[in-house]
Amino acid sequence: MPLSALPPAERHRLIAAGFTARVEGTVDWGVPAPVDGWTARDVVRHLVEWLPGFLQSGAGITLPSGPSVDADPRGAWQNHTDAVQKLLEDPETSTRALSNPHLGEIPLDQAIDRFYTTDVFMHTWDLARATGQAEDLDAEHCAELHAGMQPMDEMLRASGQYGPAVPVPDDADPQTRLVGFIGRDPNWTTPVR
């Protein structure tokens, strides 16, 4: 079954498991990542730190705190992803809304799915590439995300969340197209330190 056909809780479970595997396989948290100025630790920090504020301000939800990313990136990620999974599995979540001045009201589970789970999926490539691990993402999901983001190109760039698109060959595979679209150089390699 394609990732896009799964309900939000199941999609998160699978995508987060892929990121968790890369977290568990990371040996050097200080290695540079494909996002300018970030390290592998910063990839985890980004995912652990932005969602709590989004949920608190938009839905009044406070995720349980865990270890700091600086002290324990694995523990911080595990605590965070477990809390998100528990929230998505709660039957009440689908009946709640997240309110945001830029987005309006969105069912909470769909907001988490659209903004956060998608972010985890894309940052899996960043952590994998930074740490020399398997970086293959689900090709069908890459193609769907890329197709869905293309019409919002100008808005995405204006948000400051995405760098300029990196040109890729016309015959590039779906993952390479997505990675280039979100501003990553598909040929990026970890600099020699």
Q: With a cut of 70, say whether residue 107 has pLDDT above it.
A: yes
Q: Identify the H or E element spanning 106.
A: strand 104-107
Closest CA to 100 of 61, 57, 67, 66: 57
Predicted pLDDT at 190: 83
Q: 161 φ, ψ to 5°?
A: -85, -15
Hey, what CATH class is 3-137 in? mainly alpha
pLDDT average, residue stretch 5-25: 97
Predicted pLDDT at 57: 94
Distance CA 26, CA 31 (A): 10
- SS3 of residue 104 by DSSP: strand
pTM for the whole structure = 0.94
Distance CA 46, CA 42 (A): 6
Mean pLDDT of the chain: 94
The string of pLDDT tens digits covering residues 22-70 is 999 999 999 999 999 999 999 999 999 999 999 999 999 999 999 999 9
List of long-range contacts for 147-151, beta carbons under 8 Å, 24+ apart: 149/181, 149/182, 150/181
Residues 6+ away with beta carbon under 8 Å from 130? 31, 32, 33, 34, 39, 40, 43, 190
Distance of CA 188 to the CA centre of its chain: 19
